[in-house]
Structure 1
Amino acid sequence: MLIEVRPAAAVDDAAPELTVLMPCLNEARTVGACVRAARSFIEGAGVRGEVLVADNGSEDGSPDIAREAGARVLHVAQRGYGAALLAGVAAARGRYVIMGDADDSYDFSRLSEFLGKLRGGAHLVMGNRFRGGIAPNAMPFLHRYLGNPVLSFVGRVFFRTRIGDFHCGLRGFSRDAVLGLGLITPGMEFASELVAKAALARLRIEEVPTTLRPDGRGRPSHLRTWRDGWRHLRFLLLFCPRWLFLYPGVALLVAGLAGLGLGVLAPPAPGTLPFGIHTLLYLAGATILGVQFIVFALLSKWIAVLAGLVAEPPWMTRWASSFTIENGLMLGLATFTAGLFWSLWLTFDWGRRGFGQLDPLETMRYAIPAITMMACGMQAAIGSFFAGALHFCWRSARVA
């Protein structure tokens, strides 16, 4: 189930400047120390602030311990790391929010650099554990040398940001800026969604070296290495269709068309590259898949724009008059018709020969590209109709 946080009323001048937000699920051994450390920072820095614990259904007395330590406790019925944080951000009273796990792996008494950068105009301030230092046994081997580096690299490439540690749990942000991002994911992938949407929205993002120490919970982490790693990667891929669909599609289409062109215009000869009918068949498959990938990329981006997940990109605005159902249908039907007439010509030529036995090595060299054109043209036409149906449903939903 997806949930969405809508911008709340503006924070008045008497409200706290800072909310230190901690998601909590059965953290009785550590939540008290975390709250006390955060309150120590707030009092020592002379900041108007509060500590808010978003409890996600603890059964070990964590909420009571948090209250006794001086925190305001928010009960969040929907389970999930993201669900707890989304509810916490919505309920926060501060202009700025600094969030971190309540497992004592981060030092909440040392938040001055985060607050300083937020006051300086940064919309999102990320901790970087690889620059600040990772204590022995603080991070599992796979997370430190495979999971976090790979996912952070993917995030930097996909979203064109320089963030070195995509999944640091200690981060600060402007509450209003984050509420405006339309965050929706209730699980661990919330960490990726926050950074991805902030980067896409061109928010100002900065980093602070952060030390990670072993947590003090005395029990296994809620994090599941492969499951949650896959959820993060899946979100990054789905949220950036150009890497999931567009770039592979363009590569397949270019390779397929180039190979089909060579196969038709330059029949195989002794000593040359053997672009025979079997090679052409695979090239046809690559071409069809390439078109399908590109159609999916455009549809995915269109769905994200209609749903308000991302802003309409400049190229879509610039070419809006060209991206119409009618133009898509004309392009698709023109391609389909060209392939159909090519097929009819091959049939007519066969008839002139008395419908006798065909030489497959010669005939299929032209039949394969003709069928490919028909398939690609129909894909483009169907994709255009589907995009039109999405737009119609979206307009109907807005009217309702």
Structure 2
Amino acid sequence: MTDTTCELTVLMPCLNEARTLGSCVRAARDFIQGSGIRGEVLVADNGSTDGSVEIAEAAGARVVRVPQRGYGAALQAGIASARGRFVIMGDADDSYDFSRLGGFVEQLRGGAHVVMGNRFQGGIAQGAMPFLHRYLGNPVLSFIGRLFFRTHIGDFHCGLRGFSRESVQQLGLITTGMEFASELIAKAALAGLRIEEVPTALRRDGRGRPPHLRTWRDGWRHLRFLLLFCPRWLFLYPGIALLVAGLSGLLLGLAGPQVGPIPLGIHTLLYLGGATILGVQFILFAVLTKWIAVLAGLVAEPPWMTRWGSSFTIENGLLLGLSVFLAGLVWSLWLTFDWGRSGFGPLDPLETMRSAIPAVTLMATGMQATIGSFFAGALHFCWRSARVE
């Protein structure tokens, strides 16, 4: 078959699935033949040593061998080798019914770019999903995914999902582990692709051995990916909160040690200064992380970056940073001069620190902006050099 004649590829990643692979392949072939679809069953084998390859071929599947280990690596190789215009991927552990893929095909034919199965809507058999996965891991990670990427997906990590091969290949998927499942949906949502869901039943794993998935390790890898891929929640929003709280408190503290019922002594001001410095650092990291992702081609340039890009220059960053730093330096020099006029005698810390803390905070944040501007310029220079080469 060629790409123009094959409509559907049913893709199964495989690593020693001899006990269940044959029945999964036969179920998928029965669906394809019974539905009159021009399609194929493709097994992306990740180094099986239990005869899985021979079983898959005997059941009528095409096999592509993937030497690089990892769930994502197997699926990426399978997607690249798929002949179908649409791809439906699913685990070969007999937990999904490959004879019931009609809802996925219907949505894909109707224009959906990605179609997710939803196990919570389709039903989860007794013992098919561990307690922690069902009531903690999946709900929490799915909620974070919906919040971060503004998508309606209810089951972010369902292993049965379909997509337009051309659309997904344009997303630039790079992860090789279990976090591939999160990357696909995150990048599809950021790219504005149409994502739909269909109820999907989950059966007990039929392999009779522990799954490849490791609860805490792979859960953390999913969470880590979601946080790093969405810097506004990891850096920007916490940074804004710290900056607003710190600056507001410092400004109020300049008025005196008591603002209404709120005491603002020098110890409180010290912590507020620290919050301000951390807030600026977080915001800088958010901008730089997004900038790195744009330069690397991982995400499209956001509208705000396109609109204000001409203002984000090294020179403007240096001017802003040095101006803030100089303001703090001049303030500090004035405090020193004022101390000198009194003969450099003993200082009243309650009064001196009320001005010294904001002054030092300005110097620290100004230097942060200056260094951040230089670092952004270095990134841009390296990116341009790599493009020339």
Q: State the TM-score, normalizing by the size of structure 2.
A: 0.99
Distance in 1, matches of 2:176 and 2:3, equals: 31
Cα offset for 1:132?
Answer: 0.5
The aligned amino acid for 2:47 is G
Distance in 2, matches of 1:272 and 1:370, equals: 25
Cα offset for 1:111?
Answer: 0.3
Q: Counterpart of 1:91?
A: 81
Cα offset for 1:238?
Answer: 0.1
Q: Counterpart of 1:246?
A: 236
Distance in 1, matches of 2:310 and 2:4, equals: 49
Aligned pair partner of 1:334 in 313, 323, 336: 323
Cα offset for 1:321?
Answer: 1.1
Distance in 2, matches of 1:101 and 1:67, equals: 17
Distance in 2, matches of 1:372 and 1:315, equals: 28
Structure 1 residue 312 and structure 2 residue 290: aligned? no
The aligned amino acid for 1:302 is W
The aligned amino acid for 1:51 is V
Contact 2:115 2:162 in 1 (8 A): yes
Cα offset for 1:29?
Answer: 0.3
Aligned pair partner of 2:119 in 120, 124, 129: 129
- Structure 1 stretches of at least 4 aligned residues deviating more than 4 Å after TM superposition: 11-14
Map 1:49-60; keep pairs closer than 5 Å: 49-60=39-50
**Structure 2 CA distance for partners of 1:126 and 1:216, relative to 1, 3 Å:** same
The aligned amino acid for 1:191 is A
Q: Counterpart of 1:288?
A: 277
Q: Counterpart of 1:362?
A: 351
Distance in 1, matches of 2:256 and 2:262, equals: 10
Cα offset for 1:14?
Answer: 4.3
Structure 1 residue 393 and structure 2 residue 366: aligned? no
Q: Counterpart of 1:219?
A: 209
Cα offset for 1:15?
Answer: 3.3
Q: Percent identity?
A: 81
The aligned amino acid for 1:127 is G
Structure 1 residue 204 and structure 2 residue 156: aligned? no
Aligned pair partner of 1:102 in 86, 92, 109: 92
Q: State the TM-score, normalizing by the size of structure 1.
A: 0.96
CA shift digits 1:62-85 (9 cap, x unpaired): 000000000001100000000000
Cα offset for 1:266?
Answer: 3.0
**Structure 2 CA distance for partners of 1:44 and 1:338, relative to 1, 3 Å:** same
Report how many residues are paired. Answer: 389
**Structure 2 CA distance for partners of 1:13 and 1:78, relative to 1, 3 Å:** closer
Aligned pair partner of 2:165 in 175, 186, 190: 175
Distance in 2, matches of 1:224 and 1:261, equals: 49
Distance in 1, matches of 2:377 and 2:51, equals: 53
Q: Counterpart of 1:20?
A: 10
Distance in 2, matches of 1:268 and 1:70, equals: 80
Q: Which runs of 5+ in 2 are unaligned?
A: none
Contact 2:3 2:84 in 1 (8 A): no
Distance in 1, matches of 2:208 and 2:30, equals: 24
Aligned pair partner of 1:64 in 36, 54, 57: 54
Q: Counterpart of 2:263?
A: 274
CA shift digits 1:250-308 (9 cap, x unpaired): 00000000011111123337x73220000000011100000000000000000000000
